[in-house]
Amino acid sequence: MATASAPGKVYLFGEHAVVYGEPAVPCAIERRATVTVEERADDRLRIDAEDLSLDGFTVEFSGSTDESPSVDVSESLLTAAMGYVDAAVDQARDAADRPNAGFDVTIDSDIPLGAGLGSSAAVVVAGIEAGTRELGVELSRAELAERAYQVEHEVQDGQASRADTYCSTMGGAVRVEGDRCETIEAPDLPFVVGYDGGAGDTGELVSGVRALKDEYDFAADTVTAIGDIVRQGERALEAGDVDELGRLMDFNHGLLSALGVSARSLDAMVWGAREAGAKGAKLTGAGGGGCIVALDESSATETALEYTPDCEQVFRARLDKEGVRLEP
């Protein structure tokens, strides 16, 4: 039996635009998905995901994710969640040259599913690490990140970027632009995360931005402008200018909203944070529901979000510099 965990993430800047080759800066946070893998005698796969959804689920199958359990999340999110685990197991089998290996997989996550905090990437990274270790194979972090990206690329019909999986593998702050990924230095920024209790459909949201970009030149220009914000943000990050980072986060949220990926609940939390004195606030991840991230060293933003009707949960999120790791 092998157990591995990997962190979730928030986007400082660049979600959606990163799909089109613009840079993005995600930061790993101390919220983790933990995956335990134990090889079994047959070739079947059993997934026990107590904390992956609101109700949790257990399903056993072989060669297909068609056997959908009944849980309180959308069918598209459920299909994706099972697809990520199935594809991660396939990557572990491939790495170990054990195509018929069967597994019992247990997932324990404190990252909300579909909320924009990189739950799928964390599950995939931890799943591949645990699966390969169970089969006696140790992957380099570079190969692990690449295999995890291939999983998201497959499940998201070719629309995934390397940002989430690379960040979850490496930890800390990372810069992603196309196929180029690197870790970058960042201070321990005062992240505050607000969660509306919902979840967006990443595939639908990414497709929606693509449709706008294809139809309107100004939508394509908006995507480019997000890339410009990222580059300016990198300079502010290097200088440790938190005030400038906050202003740029506000710009980034406005452009994402123009692309149709925000939601009333996200906007309410963003404005609640700003009015409380946060340096800046924006949605994080695909949008459509889920989480916002703000910068505030004081407790004012946390207090304000606790009293925002659309906010179900609020917490501080420290930068997690460790990335994927084996657990005892």
Residues assigned a catalytic role:
164
d(CA 37, CA 4): 9
Beta-carbon contacts of 173 under 8 Å, excluding residues fewer than 6 positions away, are 12, 25, 26, 27, 28, 183, 184, 185, 186, 237, 319
Say if CB 147 and CB 6 are below 8 A apart.
Answer: no
Paired with 282 in beta bridges are: 293
In this structure, the number of other CB atoms found within 10 A of the CB of residue 238 comes to 11
Hey, what amino acid is at 30?
E
Using DSSP's 3-state secondary structure scheme, residue 129 falls into helix
Chain center to CA of 208: 19
If you ran DSSP here, which 8-state letter would residue 103 be given?
A: E
d(CA 243, CA 251): 13
The closest alpha carbon to 50, from 22, 81, 28, 24, belongs to: 81
d(CA 61, CA 220): 42
Using DSSP's 3-state secondary structure scheme, residue 182 falls into strand
In this structure, the number of other CB atoms found within 10 A of the CB of residue 40 comes to 13
